[in-house]
Amino acid sequence: MERKLKLVLEATDLPEWIRLLPLGQVDLVDGRPPFRVDKESLAAIVEAFQSRGVDLVVDYEHQSLNGGRAPAAGWIKELAAREDGLWARVEWTAQAGEYLRQKEYRYFSPVLKLDPETRQPLALLNAALTNVPAMKQVTPLVAKFGGAAAQDESSMPADNEGVLEDLKLRLGLPREATGESLWSKTQEFLQEVSGALELTAEATSDQLKESLLSLKARAAQVEELALEIQSLKARLAEEQATRAVEEALRSGKISPAQQTWAMEYCRRDLESFRAFAEQAPKVVPVGEVLALAQDGPEEPHRISAAEKAICRAVNIAPAEYLKAKLQIGQSNNSGGGESWQH
């Protein structure tokens, strides 16, 4: 089983996509002036390749330029202009693959047609495998899996044993685990993920990815709904607090000056405030008391400010006080005494 896995890895450990040119200034090691790659030059190179309509050769050490025998190391099947430069999809020959795996060749070197005035590249003529590249800062093709110039910039090691150890580590297996154990653990992991996503055990990676993205979208919807519910609960609590305070004001259990305090009390503990308001005595005159207290200065039965203070001190309603006062006055008048009026 382990040997089968190694064979699969050997067939896929070569970079399919490599970055031939970076975006920006490219410096050379042989003393020639640098050239600059911009988005316009990338577009021109891709257009020239597509209009030509043939694959471009990747040879060894630029042998195609000498006119002699020049076996191909690979063929450039496709060019792409990306945000970070010019990328090429290469179909390697078996011999080139062996050279790269054994690290007998590590670098590449493109042959370009440059504008004589601006030194901007206009077309890609071919490329070569070499160990002495003309460009500075060229990343080795086999420095790691695909190298920095490859499409997959993961940190997978280039050797197969390293790949197996990396897979074992990711799956929680010891380094000495056999290939059969690795295969079984991989199948177990895929089955667990498929089951958690309510998919069949034969679900493909695309189906797993689609299900995960759907699950992520549903989680975002649930979070948004939770925020809406929280907002509605806050609004309802505020409305209940407002109604409780207004009821306490109407029933005379709190004064207008206590309204702010009462609102804060309700926001902290609505039920406790309701219990307080239910048991609290009436401390503010309402209804007819206010009407009596607002009589004009010529009203013979108006009570004075001092009398109002006495009412507050002894906790009696001004209406009751005025009623008792009038009764006392009438009693004195009937007995021929002096009337008590202010």
Torsion of CA 169, 175, 181, 185, to 10 degrees: -10
Alpha-carbon span 223 to 326, nearest angstrom? 69
Q: How do beta strands 17-22 and 107-114 pair?
A: unpaired
- pLDDT score of 142: 65
- pLDDT score of 173: 84
- pLDDT score of 239: 92
Amino acid at 330: Q
pLDDT tens, residue by residue, 267-313: 999 999 999 988 888 876 654 333 333 444 434 456 677 777 777 77
| Collapsed DSSP state (helix, strand, coil) of residue 201 | coil
- pLDDT score of 83: 87
Alpha-carbon span 3 to 252, nearest angstrom? 90
pLDDT-flagged residues of the chain (< 50)? 1-12, 144-160, 287-300, 336-342
Alpha-carbon span 248 to 269, nearest angstrom? 15
| Collapsed DSSP state (helix, strand, coil) of residue 180 | helix
